[in-house]
Structure 1
Amino acid sequence: MENYTYNSLTLQLEGLRITETNKYPVFFFLLLAYVFILVTNIGIMVLIWRSLHQPMYLLFCNLSINDVMGNSLQVPRMLADICVPPSERLIHYYECVVQAFTAHMFGTNSHTLLMIMAFDRYVAICNPLRYAAIMTNKMVIKLTVSAWGVAFFFVGILLGLTIRLNRCRTLITNIYCDNASLFKLSCEDSIINNIYGLTFTVVLLSSSIGSIILTYSKITMACLTSKSKSVNSKALKTCSTHLCLYLIMLVSGLIHIVLHRFSGDAEYRKISGILFHIVPGSLNPLIYGLQSQEIRKCLSNIFNLRKVKLIL
């Protein structure tokens, strides 16, 4: 379907190239992963909304919202495409744009939200006596709006530059729509898109990595100068969890970006795109939930209450 129909509103998704034998295992793997992401993240969101109103958990709730949003517009579409022949994997152009916008919002928010969570940990460990005064409800709202607002602004420009291009192709060589796949449909000069996309990626990653290095350096110094073993243990436990999530997200995202530059590795790029969505989305609630004493306590109270009701 690689034709030259100009500005066609019907596009074709290449999707995964899998055999009939592998179709059902892949389908059920993605389905189980998606259900797991929904159940765990929505469960965490409900738990935080009902019981845990501390700044750390309110900021973490944004991460769960981002994981649900990022996967809900990608994974169901992948599941539907697995069930149909490649020639029938059609998508409307505007739906494709919305999907691309959501995919890039998910990726950008993953960085901005972890940046503000790192700031929260920095204040809690390095300025514990002023934590309540700094991390007020107003500050939490400001940080949340900033994280989502920055992502919305820059991703909006990214997709806006792509939408202006005329299209002469209809084949999306990916499992879902993203900005690179969309501007590759154009026969026009896309140098501006490449420059902005590269600049956007460099600025985002530099800001993200720089803020993580800065905050964790200060946290490390505070731990080294502190004589309290309980403070050091709490800092190590909380920050190692945060850093683990950040590294998982960073590595999976970088692999996907690098593979987009090599057309010969299309299948590896598709797999990396899947992993970029489902791995952080699955691990975020698990890692944070298991290491958080408050979340474990709330879950234990809920299960104990249900046991009592069943006995009665």
Structure 2
Amino acid sequence: MKLSEFDYELPAGCIATQPARPRDAARLLHVAEALSDWRVRDLPGLLRPGDLLVVNDTRVIPAQLSALRGQARVGITLDCRQDDGTWRVLLKNAKRVRAGDELVIDPAFSARVAEVYEGGAARLRFVADDFGQALERAGALALPPYIARPAGLTPEDKADYQTMFAAHPGAVAAPTAGLHFTPELQAALQARGVEMVSVTLHVGAGTFLPVRVEEIAAHKMHAERGIVSRAAAARMNEVKARGGRVVPVGTTALRVIESAADERGCVHEFNAETDIFITPGYRFKVADALMTNFHLPKSTLLMLVSAFAGVERIRAAYKYAIANGYRFYSYGDACLLERAQ
């Protein structure tokens, strides 16, 4: 398929720059054989007792850093932690950065360049007494570029851009479908008999990068670290075996459980990088429905939801959402997609 097949016009006024308050007051478009309007707090009534929600428990880190190479200022955006303790990063203003260079972030926090790749990527080894504390001190939240903050981040953003499930630090961007959940909604789901299990996908900086090729099959996804525990895998398999549905909250949760499943649909323990690229024609092995936000034109996530719910159904849903004032992207409204047969 062509990249141009996943384009659409979105009025600027449809882009959410603040979340709904409370979070579960956001609108929810149910995309099935017909379209219907709800609120996120209505989710329990749209699910069935025995369904299993799969949430992403990654925690967003302050992934943007500013460093000096000599007198030159270099921007660093963390992407993915490697098994050897180094970090794959994206560099800005880095034409002269070479392997072996030292990038000084502050007097007690620096990085040594281990490798430089094409396209502004590199691998860095950070030097600090405590990396987590140094990152909290020197780093900044990497909000998506479409969330306008001309005066800088607001005090609310640090909390708004973190889900209630956040437990394991490592994401550059939030798994945004999870931003809609509140303790009250979680309690209502439990009362309905809807179960919940956590997996981890540390969303990388590649989520912000555009697709640059017209033939989508030629696009290369950035790898991200995914983790499915043995207990979480067993729970999904048990739910499927008794006829329940597995419903990922967000494309990140969907991608990691599909990466962890074999061709028979059995989910296995998983702890590895995944660069799974889901486009129309993909046969889903685990996910039966999907809660997600509205995604950017020409994005890999729009391709994923088109694969899940059907290209024409997604086109109709997005057209309806725009016409009816839904709010788009990270701080926007949500939809519940039923899988196309």
TM-score, normalisation: structure 1: 0.26
TM-score, normalisation: structure 2: 0.25
The structure with the larger Rg is 1
Bigger relative contact order, structure 1 or 2 (CA pairs below 8 A, ≥6 apart) = 1
Structure number with higher helix proportion? 1
